[in-house]
Chain A
């Protein structure tokens, strides 16, 4: 069965500091991997996705993520955090075909100190 683990429930960083949110997955085949962000009162916005090819993928809002097959990880990074990045971040995994379920991690809530 597929599963996603986000080990950090809460993370607090200072504005301007770098950020790394961890995501580990368990999946039997080649996965599609995603990061979504949920701001307060908002839906889930897609930040970036990995399907194949270059293991470092770029997303919106200056985020990037690196797929490491050997570690079953897909960590999200940002070099310099802005106060507006405070939100909850979800990693998700799915099969490489359409119409099938995504499995989400428990989420990491990011707080940004001024």
Chain B
């Protein structure tokens, strides 16, 4: 089954404690992205990747890092989380940047 898998689904952490949210896709897609979704602001792109070792900033990259060492994996790293990073995070992959994106089930992150 074609899918994008994120882990964990829920995470509560404290300010400043580094964390990683993993994302894996099994569709051999070249393009992968991370988004955050906040009430009233909709989905905003954090980072995207067009291929292995090729990443670029989206609209809200501050406080986040990503890496793309393998085609299937695109982890999101918060080196020093802050409460304003409390949000619902989605990973997505697509065959074509301008086409249909497949989304993971989301990670609800709370930073206290």
A binds B: no
**B residues at A contact (CB < 8 Å):** none
